[in-house]
Amino acid sequence: MVATTGEAKSVRISLMAATAIPIDTLPSIDPATGAVVGLFEKTPSSLLPEIVAYARSAQSEWVKISIPDRCAKLRTLGECIMASRNELADAVVLESGKPRVEALFADLFVALDSAKYWSQNAASALRTERIPHHSTAAKAKSGYLVYESLGVIAIISSWNYPLAIPLSQIIPAVAAGNAVVCKTSDFTPQCGALIERLFLDAGFPKNLVTIVQGGGEVGQALIEAAPDKVLFTGSVTTGRRVAEACAKKLIPSVLELGGKDAMIVLADADLDVTASAAVWGSYTNCGQVCLSVERVFVEESVSESFATLCVAKTKKLRLGRGSDPSTDVGPLIRPQHVQRVSELIRDAVSRGARVLCGGHPRPDLGPNFFEPTVIAGVDSSMKLFQEETFGPILALQSARDAESAIARANDSPFALAASVWTGDTQRGEAIAKRLRAGAVMVNDAISYFAIAEAPHGGCGASGWGRTHGKSGLLEMVQTKYIDVDRLPRREKPWWYRYGADLERAADAFLRFEFSAGIAAKLGNARIALKTFFRDHGL
């Protein structure tokens, strides 16, 4: 993976014939079959300081390159992604199990659009910004903001969107003049290897974007190597450990820790369309999405009709391997995820919930398949409403009215995203403003993640900071304010020496600057002006 000289090398893949897995390798496993389809070399944790040092050296030269020239490289990167899209999609399907159409729409589209957007907009987003001064005391100054690169950004990414998540973070990071060391998931090592190759093929400097492979120990070593910022996508439990490790070194971080996204269905919504959205929003990528629809609150008057529609649509879905074009829902990522989803359903049923369809593993299809499930009568006492599901479960709860639905939607430690479904767009927007979430969609779900301008992130148990959009780009830079005084030969009135005269003049200046009436302003103007022309006596 990484040579002893510290220079990055391409990750090697070897098809697996034997059953034993060497301890210094990562297996690439097909979730549909459980078979090991390849091995990748782990990055020794001991090499992380050296890797970060080489990235820092590459960044010191990269930052000297003009932003338009960096953007030209991003255009080349987009061309490389497009040319390799079939290989990339195959890798995503092989390692994540999702249907190929989802790999194309979610992973490839987001990656390509991120490269296109920032190649066109990074220069304007990072342009020097003039800061006008409203205060009389600052009128003789000229101020502006500049956006400087941070240095080396560490990205610790997730497996569920093994191209979209890391690439949509790496691309703006390098556009802003940073180097990146990215630990991709140990569940998707082939996708990680392909990401590093893309940047080399696009002509980016060696060591500017480095992929490191391994588990939690590699992520920990990456933080200990003291990058300038850490972006983490993953579970709340791991996110807490990342936050603690960063805090010890005073390294700033962005944490995207998942969600428990609410869907509010009002009685005036188009129920057929909304049910289709609920089914897709709950089962896409087999429910393994931080933005999955995990809590559905339906107004009481239409709750039974809506449940009937959801069940009918769910029963039509085809469960199978992602490589089969007819597949709608693929497998979960690992057997332990099947076990966890089963336990969540058992807990809900034991507390009074009703499974309307699905609800069972499908070992006849493979070790990681689970039926898309509609479950009704779920309430806040159940783990299914308390914990992130990350599985193919559409959980329904009847709400007396919109006010009740809003209150229940906000009753969660998670606050990533939500959606509101209604025939009245203005009412939907009003409700959206009252929901505790980083993003709320009206009459759509999840898809804002693919809008390059839209910031992504939440608060509470969903983490902090943002990726994507201008907000996400500003996480990649140091904002510096520069102030130039336009009267450089004049001592400032607030400098030494002090005395009773200056005290009276200072009070007069406050009355001139902040009094409401014009008479008070004019009455103090003469004394206030004396502060600008006094003899300091030094």
Active site residues: 256, 290
Instruction: Count CA within 13 A, CB hemisphere, residue 134.
Output: 2
Q: Which helix (H) or strand (E) holds 460?
A: strand 459-460
The SS3 call for residue 391 is coil
Can you tell me which residue has the tokens 């390509």? 112
DSSP secondary structure of 243-266: HHHHHHTT--EEEE----EEEEE-
**Cβ neighbours of residue 91 closer than 8 Å, sequence gap 6 or more:** 162, 188, 190, 191, 194
Q: Give whole-number Cα distances, 262 to 190, 309, 370, 407, in Å.
A: 34, 19, 22, 11
Return the DSSP state at 94. Answer: H
Return the DSSP state at 105. Answer: I
CA 417 to CA 439: how far, in whole Å? Answer: 5
The SS3 call for residue 282 is helix
First to last CA, the chain: 65
Q: Of 400, 172, 161, 471, which is closest to residue 289 (Cα–Cα)?
A: 161
